[in-house]
Amino acid sequence: MFDCMEALGLAPRPLFDVSGQGSCMLGKATPYFSGLDPFAWAGTSAIQSVETQSTSSEEMVPSSPSPPPPPRVYKPCFVCQDKSSGYHYGVSSCEGCKGFFRRSIQKNMVYTCHRDKNCQINKVTRNRCQYCRLQKCFEVGMSKEAVRNDRNKKKKDVKEEVVLPENYELSGELEELVNKVSKAHKETFPSLCQLGKYTTNSSADHRVQLDLGLWDKFSELSTKCIIKIVEFAKRLPGFTTLTIADQITLLKSACLDILMLRICTRYTPEQDTMTFSDGLTLNRTQMHNAGFGPLTELVFAFAGQLLPLEMDDTETGLLSAICLICGDRMDLEEPEKVDKLQEPLLEPHMFPRMLMKVTDLRGISTKGAERAITLKTEIPGPMPPLIREMLENPEAFEDSSDSGDRTRRGGQKKMHSSAIYKGYAVYKIDGKIHWNNRTLHGVHLPPMSSQNSLYYY
């Protein structure tokens, strides 16, 4: 595995100094990112093309950094193809179709078609048949519930107008917390306009089970993203005051949530593409072929649901923090302390639109974990160790040939796929123990629990 890590330009670094009290992997004494350009790949020669019977990867050539994004331009109205004014009731639509749909639902209108109930609806003919226009609204995804919720919200706003201020103002303490979370997010996740986008023609037009070249690139990028999520967690106020075991539990539980959230905020609807942190931009077909497989449509659908929210970096950072610092995760030693850390992030009225997406994120994460298990049978080699540790129970990825290496002592497994010992990364691969970037033979280490697993290099 270290051969693989060296090829990626990633050397193992200590996560926690378990020999010292209260020390943490994120202490100021271990700035393992100093001098590292987070968007440049060390060892680019390590990215090798992999040929398969169905497809192959072509050379990826980066372009110059993108200029600041222009004002948002929405897709034409899904109903009549007129100019859209934004996302209304779940889809991009013009003011005319938005108002027509709202009135039809609020007044429970019943229309009749005088032809064959198949009238063409466009910006010229949309007023000719109300029945077909309403059916078209439903077909493209306009939501009845969104209209009802909007109406209820307006009624509620009128009732509470005297109670609530027009603009909700944060207290000084809460504003400082929000600023720190926002800063942590921005420093570990560059915005789309900061990236120099580049594309590849690899399997861009047809779906295959797996494009190994795209998978190699995607797995490398995912590894770097996981490292950045760890860095984000370390920067969150109070996170490093939790026990080491709870920090690890929270990171393992929320890593996939945050990965999915971050990639979905880089969705470009006009091109139907997603952009990774190094600028690699893939279309829907390529995302499928890179390893997302049946998860692809679910991820793109969620990305589309985020568009109407128009989340900024601060809101994305806060939602990521809420996903991470969550006291209902299993096996926490101090769930009450975790809940107390999360409480100010859930301040009423701060950003209620986004909170409903936490449940959706968890649903996608569950499907993502299932996809990770099936993906193991499709890739020719082992799952990259950092992905294996963070996104899935490592035992789910153990080959049957490794079963003889896993012994028990006192009812506990002696070693996980990786752990930390005296502050250094420890791995057991092919029967050999790797410690402090060296391969050791005949070394016996004490029992390691799953809570001591390592996910950072």
Please state the domain extents for the chain: 2-12+37-66+172-389, 86-159
Give residue 334's pLDDT: 93
Distances in Å between the alpha carbon of 430 and those of 376, 384, 403, 438? 18, 15, 11, 14
Q: Tell me if 2 sits within 8 A of 21, measured CB to CB.
A: no
288 Cβ contact list (under 8 Å, min separation 6): 207, 296
- pLDDT 10s digits, 214-230: 999 988 998 899 999 99
- pLDDT 10s digits, 346-376: 875 566 667 778 888 888 888 888 888 888 8
Give residue 6's pLDDT: 36
Give residue 415's pLDDT: 31
238 pLDDT higher than 50: yes
438 pLDDT higher than 50: no
Distances in Å between the alpha carbon of 204 and those of 57, 121, 199, 285? 10, 32, 10, 6
Element (H, E) at 250: helix 244-264
CA distance 42 to 57: 20
Least reliable range by pLDDT among 47-51, 166-170, 233-237, 315-319:
47-51
- pLDDT 10s digits, 192-219: 777 777 888 887 788 898 989 999 998 8
The position carrying tokens 């279309």 is: 283
26 pLDDT higher than 50: no
The overall average pLDDT reported for the chain is 70
252 pLDDT higher than 50: yes
Element (H, E) at 2: helix 2-8
Q: Tell me if 55 sits within 8 A of 104, measured CB to CB.
A: no
Q: In this structure, what token pair is assigned to residue 118?
A: 């198949």
For 416, counting Cβ atoms within 10 Å of its Cβ (0-12 exposed, 13-18 middle, 19+ buried), the class is: buried
316 pLDDT higher than 50: yes
Q: What angle do CA 272, 275, 278 make, to 5 degrees?
A: 160
Least reliable range by pLDDT among 47-56, 76-85, 263-272, 357-366:
47-56
The position carrying tokens 């850390």 is: 341
Calculate mean pLDDT across residues 305-328.
Answer: 89
pLDDT band at 277 (very low <50, low <70, confident <90, very high): confident
The pLDDT > 90 percentage for the chain reads 24
DSSP letters, 123-188, are: TTTTTT-HHHHHHHHHHTT--HHHHHHHHHHHHHHHHTTTTS-SS----HHHHHHHHHHHHHHHHH
108 pLDDT higher than 90: no
332 pLDDT higher than 80: yes
The position carrying tokens 């399997």 is: 203
Calculate mean pLDDT across residues 385-392.
Answer: 74
Other C-beta atoms lying within 10 Å of the C-beta of residue 405: 13
Which spans in 307-451 are helix H?
Answer: 313-324, 335-342, 352-355, 357-375, 385-391
Calculate mean pLDDT across residues 412-424.
Answer: 35
Nearest CA-CA partner of 421 in 402, 438, 397, 408: 438
The pLDDT > 70 percentage for the chain reads 63
Other C-beta atoms lying within 10 Å of the C-beta of residue 240: 17
For 295, counting Cβ atoms within 10 Å of its Cβ (0-12 exposed, 13-18 middle, 19+ buried), the class is: buried
151 pLDDT higher than 80: no
Residue 37 or residue 327, greater confidence: 327
Amino acid in the structure at residue 222: S
Which spans in 265-356 are helix H?
Answer: 284-287, 296-306, 313-324, 335-342, 352-355
Give residue 22's pLDDT: 37
The class level of CATH for 86-159 reads alpha beta
The class level of CATH for 2-12+37-66+172-389 reads mainly alpha
DSSP 3-state of 387: helix
Question: 50-59, 119-128, 424-433 — which one is most confidently predicted on average?
Answer: 119-128
CA distance 277 to 310: 20
